[in-house]
Copies of this chain bind each other. A is one copy, B any other.
Amino acid sequence: MKKAIVLLSGGMDSAVTLYMARETHECHALIFDYGQKAAKEVLFAQKIAEEAGCAYYMMNISLPWQGSSLLDDERKVSMRPAAGDGKIPDTYVPARNMLFLGYGVSYAEAIGAEAVFIGAQQLDFSGYPDCRDDFFSAFQKAVLLGTKKGRKEGGIRIITPIINKTKKEIVQEGRRLNVPLEHTWSCYLGGESPCGECESCRLRIKAFEEAV
Show the binding face of A for B, using Cβ within 8 Å: 57, 59, 61, 63-67, 88, 92-99, 101-103, 105-111, 129-130, 132, 134-135, 138-139, 141-143, 145-148
Most buried by B among A61, A102, A105, A146: A146
- Nearest-Cβ distance from residue A60 to partner chain B, whole angstroms: 9
> Which of B93, B106, B110 is within 8 Å of A99, CB to CB?
B106
A129 touches B147 (CB 8 A): yes
Contact A98/B66 with A61-B61, A92-B148, A130-B147 known, Cβ cut-off 8 Å? no
A184 to B: closest C-beta gap in Å: 24
Contact B147 A111 (CB under 8 A): no
Given the interface pairs A129-B146, A135-B145, the reply to whether A105 lies near B110 with Cβ below 8 Å is: no
- Would B111 and A65 count as touching, CB distance under 8 A? yes
Q: Tell which of B106, B111, B129 touches A95, judged by Cβ atoms closer than 8 Å.
A: B106
The distance from the CB of A73 to the nearest CB of chain B, in whole angstroms, is 15
* Interface contact A102-B95, CB-CB below 8 Å: yes
A88 to B: closest C-beta gap in Å: 6
Contact B139 A142 (CB under 8 A): yes
Question: How distant is the Cα of A88 from the Cα of B108 in the complex, in angstroms?
Answer: 17
Contacts of A132 in B (CB 8 A): 145-146
Known interface pairs A63-B107, A93-B106, A135-B145; 17 further A-B residue pairs with C-beta atoms within 8 A, sorted by A's residue number:
A57-B65, A59-B64, A63-B106, A94-B105, A94-B106, A94-B147, A94-B148, A95-B102, A95-B106, A95-B143, A98-B102, A98-B146, A129-B148, A130-B147, A132-B145, A138-B145, A139-B142
